[in-house]
Chains A and B, each alone.
Chain A
Amino acid sequence: MADYDIIVIGSGPGGYIAAIRAAQLGFRTAIVEREHLAGICSNWGCIPTKALLRSAEILHYGQHAKDYGLVLEGSFKADLEAIVKRSRGIAARMNNGVQFLMKKNKVDVIWGEAVLTKPGTITVAPTKKPAMQPQVPPPKNAKGEGTYTADHIIVATGARPRALPGIEPDGKLIWTYFESMVPAKMPKSLLVMGSGAIGIEFASFYRTMGVEVTVVEVMPQVVPVEDAEIGAFARKAFEKQGIKILTSAKVTKVEKGADSVTAHIEDEKGAKQTITAERMISAVGVVGNIENLGLEALGVKTDRGCIVIDDFCRTNVKGLYAIGDVAGPPMLAHKAEHEAVICVEAIKGLHPHPMDKAMIPGCTYCHPQIASVGLTEAKAKAAGHEIKVGRFNFVANGKAVALGEDSGLAKTIFDARTGKLLGAHLVGPEVTELIQGFVVAMNLETTEEELMHTVFPHPTLSEVMKESVLDAYGKVLNA
């Protein structure tokens, strides 16, 4: 008999959820982790950056206290060391939380780097990769190096920052998200290459902290995956805050100085310029961690740096599964978590429903926030839909005005023939908490009629959602 029913490689949001679900379903389960229990999300991604952004947000409120009739006397300023310490403390708490969950669910933690030596077998050895500091120590009862067998092995090794040739991050002058999260001192100026979720969140954080920020984006709009109108709205807001934005522009070369980086930038028409900044962040996407796992020897099918899986996360090798970033886009924690549950429940024979990737929401925590689900207007048209589009501005929302956050846009896109909600796109205050309303609606296949028939509470920001739907059908009330 194999040592375990299920071994999960990687303990990020995909891996640890898979392990918990497996344990709940009665599988003898182990999880392998080489560096940070709870993965990038909790240690070096989603959570610690939200902590930093919260500090920035409060700094922003403090600076605008008088708008709310408040007087701040004496000094009110950012203490970078304390901000980073708070962020690290929160990351450590998440890490410890997963450690607790593994113990509670009787999941064995195996510490080290796993290699698939043959189907159903891994060998675990200490990792050669130096751990990003600070590192939470491994659980005391963790198992160590050795050979372990399991009937089912789930690869959940996640992803890492993509590096562009010639512009490879060095961790000193050119940062990835790792270094960006733990600055020892605030740079005076910062160049952010890439305006996806990671790039734009750091741009937002550093700008609020008073840094001179330039964002270079190769695509014609910032936050390129979002609807063009949302991107344009966000861009205006960023520029108003003093972020300098170059779109359709490419960093062709960097020259490193003693304490600065000079980037050569070329736009689509071939016009060139150089920008010198103290630090540069490379945020040009992530790539799956498929190397040194022994996938090649087993003949596991991969495509563009990711493992190829079916609807139930099965690879082409029997008994081997992949979930999360390593199994392809969208590379989002919530996609990984959902795949984890589908994967394990399918192993158990519970007939889970496959995931509809068209209904996975995306959230970006810059200021203003951006959240969306489904098709953009351009993609809906490209897919051949005849569409109805509704828009509603936060400026006409009472709660937004009361909050002093009345800049934002809600946009909904419906199929004109069937009333199917094809896409919903939000930019503005707390929209990352609003989008789920549209996600549920979409999953339940509601049409515009049900959305219009739904009573939204007043006064809330969520009223913009309903008004946007009403607008798509010429029935908007507060505009």
Chain B
Amino acid sequence: MPTNILMPALSPTMEKGNLAKWLKKEGDAIKSGDVIAEIETDKATMEVEAVDEGILARIVVPEGTADVAVNEVIGIIAGEGEDAKSVSAPAAGGKADAPKAEAAKPEAAKPAATAEQANPKVAAPEASASGYGGSVAGSTPTAPKADGSRPFASPLARRIAREAGLDLSSVQGSGPHGRIVEKDVEAAKKGGGAKAAPTAASAASGPAAAKPAAAPLAAAPSDDAVKKLFAPDSYEEIPHDGMRKTIARRLLEAKQTVPHFYVTVDCELDALLKLRAELNAAAPEKDGKPAYKLSVNDMVIKALALALKAVPDANVSWTENAMLKHKHADVGVAVSIPGGLITPIIRDACHKTLSQISNEMKDYAARAKARKLKPEEYQGGTTAVSNLGMFGVKDFAAIVNPPHATILAVGAGEQRAVVKGGQLAVATVMSVTLSTDHRAVDGALGAELLAAFKGYIEKPMAMLV
């Protein structure tokens, strides 16, 4: 029996990924555990290991293919003694490329149509567009997911979404295995983050079709409308990669659904810089190099974690029905990498030493640049730090990254004139701006958190105990 190699889900939320590279050729022998391909997701590149043994009989999805749905057949392994050449096309076919590749090979017996019949997932756009509600006249079709699979939703949730003109693929499911259930759709209807289905948005321009139940957010102008504003050939068109799409989707959602509130404070850095210099000077040697080299940012991470511990009401996440009050301060740190950014997380940062934080950050930054972070290393977290100080930025406001309720935007430490005891003096000052999700962290609470943060920055010895 030939065995299908399926597109793996590298994280619980992964729906599709790019097949970046095949590390084996057709005809290669494969042992269980061999790395056979590399998959690129939104934010990371991961290796696919073989589970079965045999000969790689066929590569179904060629390398470089984007947006391959999870569980799609990407290749076929022929068992021992089987003629790899005679392995026919996969029963569960997939993308448009796959049938094309087969058509070139005369022994590929099954045409694309058969492959589609055999794979209800691929045939789903039709089914999900009509749903079971064939009897509901003029119903708004549920938009199929980009990969053609049907959103995993209860029948009741599907019907309510259809009637409200909601696009189920943008609703977050809270049921078992992320299934979208009635209350998720009800929450989305109330503006809990789902975008209106495209059909509903366009129908809204015709007054007769407007549905009062749905409150569609303003639709962005179409690609063509934007392109028309520029002379042809006056620009180069660069397709979005997974990371760009994720950044766009997440930040649009955050800015549109999270009521932001901003609090700014100036922190004097001289004591912290002095302590940092002393600590770095005292670093023991390890393999001929200092065992650690603390950065200001490492100390900012620790200070924010300790501040959250001191003001636990600010260490929260908003959900529609309850506040999640976190028991650990997990600080995400925005790391700029070519083509975008990623936010690896220092878990339980208030219980880590500065050198632990520093070394962990260095490891994260290096692996982030190589896009080798694991999903569990950048998903979750209870707050985040974004530092643009190294670019000389004085202050800025960052966008909260849900489920976080706060993010701290850190500016450059610079010498400024300050007034001390009625006298002008010079001090190294760093401005920080805390953005809060006002649903979860009110203004005064945000100010309290910043005051605690400032306390640790200006009296940094407290971070060492």
Min CB distance A447 to B, Å, is 5
**A417 vs B186: C-alpha distance in the bound complex, in angstroms?**
14
CB interface residues, A 347-368, toward B, < 8 Å: 353
Query: Which of the 9-residue segments B15-23, B39-47, B104-112, B156-164 touches chain A?
Result: B156-164
- B156 and A420 form a contact (CB under 8 A): yes
Closest to B182 in A: A445
Contacts A420-B182, A453-B132 given; does A445 touch B156 at CB 8 Å: yes
The residues of B that contact A417 with a CB separation of less than 8 Å are 163
- A449 and B154 form a contact (CB under 8 A): no
**A447 vs B155: C-alpha distance in the bound complex, in angstroms?**
6
- A450 and B132 form a contact (CB under 8 A): yes
Q: Is A292 an interface residue (CB 8 A)?
A: no
- A418 and B132 form a contact (CB under 8 A): no
**A419 vs B160: C-alpha distance in the bound complex, in angstroms?**
9
Q: Is A402 an interface residue (CB 8 A)?
A: no
The residues of A that contact B155 with a CB separation of less than 8 Å are 444-447, 449-450
Q: Is B181 an interface residue (CB 8 A)?
A: yes
- A446 and B156 form a contact (CB under 8 A): yes
- A419 and B156 form a contact (CB under 8 A): yes
Contact with B along A446-473 (1 / 0, CB 8 A): 1101100100000000000000000000
The residues of A that contact B159 with a CB separation of less than 8 Å are 418-419, 447
The residues of B that contact A453 with a CB separation of less than 8 Å are 132
Contacts A445-B182, A449-B133, A450-B132 given; does A418 touch B176 at CB 8 Å: no
**A419 vs B154: C-alpha distance in the bound complex, in angstroms?**
12
The residues of B that contact A445 with a CB separation of less than 8 Å are 154-157, 181-182
Closest to A417 in B: B163
**A383 vs B159: C-alpha distance in the bound complex, in angstroms?**
21
The residues of A that contact B176 with a CB separation of less than 8 Å are 353
CB interface residues, A 243-279, toward B, < 8 Å: none
Min CB distance B181 to A, Å, is 6
Listed residue (A353, A445, A447) with the most chain B CB atoms within 10 angstroms of its CB: A445
Min CB distance A222 to B, Å, is 33
**A207 vs B50: C-alpha distance in the bound complex, in angstroms?**
69
**A449 vs B135: C-alpha distance in the bound complex, in angstroms?**
10
Per the CB 8 Å criterion, the residue count for chain B at the interface is: 14
Contact with A along B297-313 (1 / 0, CB 8 A): 00000000000000000
Min CB distance A415 to B, Å, is 9
Contacts A353-B176, A418-B156 given; does A449 touch B182 at CB 8 Å: no
**A446 vs B163: C-alpha distance in the bound complex, in angstroms?**
16
Contact with B along A202-242 (1 / 0, CB 8 A): 00000000000000000000000000000000000000000
Min CB distance B81 to A, Å, is 43
**A447 vs B182: C-alpha distance in the bound complex, in angstroms?**
11
Contact with A along B123-148 (1 / 0, CB 8 A): 00000000011010000000000000
Closest to A415 in B: B156
**A272 vs B444: C-alpha distance in the bound complex, in angstroms?**
66
The residues of A that contact B182 with a CB separation of less than 8 Å are 420, 445
**A249 vs B22: C-alpha distance in the bound complex, in angstroms?**
81
Q: Is the interface of B mostly helix, strand, loop or mixed?
A: helix
**A270 vs B176: C-alpha distance in the bound complex, in angstroms?**
54
- A418 and B160 form a contact (CB under 8 A): yes
Closest to B132 in A: A449
Closest to A450 in B: B155
**A450 vs B181: C-alpha distance in the bound complex, in angstroms?**
15
The residues of B that contact A418 with a CB separation of less than 8 Å are 156, 159-160, 163
The residues of B that contact A450 with a CB separation of less than 8 Å are 132, 155
Closest to B160 in A: A418
Closest to B322 in A: A311
Min CB distance A354 to B, Å, is 10
**A449 vs B133: C-alpha distance in the bound complex, in angstroms?**
8
The residues of A that contact B157 with a CB separation of less than 8 Å are 445
Contact with B along A426-447 (1 / 0, CB 8 A): 0000000000000000001111
**A50 vs B234: C-alpha distance in the bound complex, in angstroms?**
84
Contact with A along B25-36 (1 / 0, CB 8 A): 000000000000
Min CB distance A472 to B, Å, is 15
Min CB distance A386 to B, Å, is 14
Listed residue (A353, A417, A449, A453) with the most chain B CB atoms within 10 angstroms of its CB: A449
Contacts A418-B160, A420-B182 given; does A444 touch B154 at CB 8 Å: yes
The residues of B that contact A419 with a CB separation of less than 8 Å are 156, 159
**A447 vs B159: C-alpha distance in the bound complex, in angstroms?**
9
Min CB distance A319 to B, Å, is 14
**A447 vs B175: C-alpha distance in the bound complex, in angstroms?**
17
**A453 vs B135: C-alpha distance in the bound complex, in angstroms?**
13
**A418 vs B181: C-alpha distance in the bound complex, in angstroms?**
13
The residues of A that contact B175 with a CB separation of less than 8 Å are 353
The residues of B that contact A353 with a CB separation of less than 8 Å are 175-176
Min CB distance B444 to A, Å, is 26
Min CB distance B83 to A, Å, is 43
The residues of A that contact B156 with a CB separation of less than 8 Å are 418-420, 445-447
**A447 vs B163: C-alpha distance in the bound complex, in angstroms?**
14
CB interface residues, A 404-435, toward B, < 8 Å: 417-420
Min CB distance A118 to B, Å, is 23
**A450 vs B132: C-alpha distance in the bound complex, in angstroms?**
8
The residues of A that contact B135 with a CB separation of less than 8 Å are 449
Listed residue (B133, B154, B175, B182) with the most chain A CB atoms within 10 angstroms of its CB: B154
Listed residue (B135, B156, B163, B175) with the most chain A CB atoms within 10 angstroms of its CB: B156
- A446 and B154 form a contact (CB under 8 A): yes
Min CB distance B184 to A, Å, is 11
The residues of B that contact A420 with a CB separation of less than 8 Å are 156, 182
**A444 vs B152: C-alpha distance in the bound complex, in angstroms?**
12
**A419 vs B182: C-alpha distance in the bound complex, in angstroms?**
12
Min CB distance A352 to B, Å, is 10
Min CB distance B341 to A, Å, is 29
Min CB distance A9 to B, Å, is 27
**A450 vs B155: C-alpha distance in the bound complex, in angstroms?**
8
**A444 vs B181: C-alpha distance in the bound complex, in angstroms?**
8
**A444 vs B154: C-alpha distance in the bound complex, in angstroms?**
6
CB interface residues, A 297-336, toward B, < 8 Å: none
Min CB distance B192 to A, Å, is 18
Closest to A310 in B: B322
**A420 vs B157: C-alpha distance in the bound complex, in angstroms?**
10
**A444 vs B179: C-alpha distance in the bound complex, in angstroms?**
10
Min CB distance A440 to B, Å, is 12
**A43 vs B231: C-alpha distance in the bound complex, in angstroms?**
85
The residues of B that contact A446 with a CB separation of less than 8 Å are 154-156
Closest to A354 in B: B321
User: Which 8 residue pairs spanning A and B have beta carbons closest together?
Assistant: A445-B154, A445-B156, A449-B132, A447-B155, A450-B155, A446-B155, A420-B156, A447-B156
- In the assembled complex, 25 residue pairs joining A and B whose CB atoms fall closer than 8 Å, in A order, are A353-B176, A417-B163, A418-B156, A418-B159, A418-B160, A418-B163, A419-B156, A420-B182, A444-B154, A444-B155, A445-B154, A445-B155, A445-B156, A445-B157, A445-B181, A445-B182, A446-B154, A446-B155, A446-B156, A447-B132, A447-B155, A447-B156, A449-B132, A449-B133, A453-B132
| Beyond A353-B175, A445-B154, A449-B155, 11 extra complex contacts between A and B, CB < 8 Å | A417-B163, A418-B160, A419-B159, A445-B156, A445-B157, A445-B182, A446-B154, A447-B159, A449-B133, A450-B132, A450-B155
